[in-house]
Amino acid sequence: MLLAGLCAGAVAAMLIAAATLRSPGPVAASASLLGTAPPVTTSVATTATSAPPETTPAKPSPTVDQGQGKLPSGAELAKLVPGKVSVLVHDRKNGDDLVSYRPDATYTSASLVKLLIAFEALRQGVDSGVVAEMLSRSDDDVASRLWTRLGGPAIVSGWAARIGMRSTRPPADPGHWGGTTVTATDLVKLYEYLMDQAPEGTRQVVLHALDAATEHGADGFDQFFGIPGAVTAVDWAVKQGWSCCDPGRNLHTSGLVEGRRYVVVVLSAQSADTGWQTASDRVTAVVKALSGPLGWAK
């Protein structure tokens, strides 16, 4: 993630302590294990993508009765995020999409692509502690080194084909991993692969890291927005994304809630003049609107 105006150096002890509160085991590892490959530039591309027409929100499953109130429509959710937003909530137990709003609109992935980098790193035998650090702290330096070492854009194209992520594309700038394009539909497929098809070792490493996501990323950004800001703190596993200047602010929340039953993806592209806190709060408001009816509210 590229973050204008935020300090690049966060205090490591604070970050690791935050992770320890949510996980019984350590998740951090030294990036020096990756060797001396130079960091890849992460300058942000400015190519804009267009959003397809709004899709009709799916009817909620009749078995979802633990919450209060009616699930919001896509149009109601869109009012919470000025700009561009996509929302997809998938019930893994029943195979239903409970809410589906513009699930095939494309977005700059920011750090969500680190999930694909993690799959490839584990496939090639990279130390699991390094992978966990990249995911839980959303460490850009680790991601850049792995990107260079493991194949760059081929990581995205290879895993997109393997998982069936039909709209996911490598970045136009081969050195900018965060410029990968994704959709909510494809990210649900990614989480389904993780839970149902990934090797057991890969699943355990990735889930442990997502369970142990730290309150602040390695660059100092508060990544407890969206799912962590709206869902019971002990019952989520998340990968967040944020980036600026391409041309606006991208804020994404994705992950698993309620015993891994639901996959939740909220992607947003907001105007460049939106403050980071405001942009984050808008994404959190979307998840809160879902949390009441689905029984996830804090």
Q: For 125-135, how does the pLDDT look when each residue is reduced to its tens digit (9 = 90+)?
A: 999 999 999 99
Tell me the pLDDT of the chain averaged across its residues. Answer: 83
223 φ, ψ (degrees, to nearest 5)? -100, 15
What is the reported pLDDT for 246? 75
Least confident of 64-68, 153-157, 269-273: 64-68
Let me know: does 160 contact 168? Beta carbons within 8 Å.
Answer: yes
pLDDT over threshold 70, residue 259? yes
DSSP bridge partners of 89 = 99, 264
Query: Taking Cα atoms as reference points, which of 258, 273, 266 lies closest to residue 100?
Result: 266
pLDDT at site 62 = 36
Q: For residue 67, what pLDDT band results from cuts at 50, 70 and 90?
A: low
Per-residue pLDDT at 47: 35
CB-CB contact of 85 with 286 (8 Å) = yes
3-class secondary structure, 103:
coil
pLDDT at 64 over 80: no
**pLDDT for 233:** 64
**Distance in angstroms (rounded) separating the CA atoms of residues 193 and 212:** 20
**Does the pLDDT at position 49 exceed 80?**
no
Residues in Cβ contact with 204 at an 8 Å cutoff, skipping those fewer than 6 apart: none
Chain-centre distance for alpha carbon 290: 18
DSSP 179: G
Q: Is 1 exposed, middle or buried (0-12, 13-18, 19+ CB in 10 A)?
A: buried
d(CA 253, CA 264): 8
The DSSP line for 197-254 is TS-HHHHHHHHHHHHT--SB-TTS-B---SHHHHB-TTSEEEEEEEE--SSSEEEEEE
Beta strands in 118-196 (DSSP E): 181-182
**pLDDT higher than threshold 90 for residue 232:** no
Instruction: Specify the range with the lowest mean pLDDT, choosing from 67-76, 85-94, 157-166.
Output: 67-76
23-37, 155-169, 229-243, 265-279, range with the lowest pLDDT: 23-37
Strand partners, 96: 91
pLDDT at 225 over 80: yes
pLDDT computed for residue 174 by the predictor: 97
Taking the C-alpha atoms of residue 177 and residue 144, their distance in angstroms, rounded to an integer, is: 8
User: Comparing 86-90, 238-242, 247-251, which segment has the lowest mean pLDDT?
Assistant: 247-251
Region 234-261: mean pLDDT is 93
pLDDT (average), residues 221-247: 91
Q: Where are the domains of the chain?
A: 72-294
Q: Which CATH number fits domain 72-294: 1.10.760.10, 3.40.710.10, 3.40.1390.10, 1.10.357.10?
A: 3.40.710.10
HEC sequence for 72-99: CCHHHHHCCCCCEEEEEEEECCCCEEEE
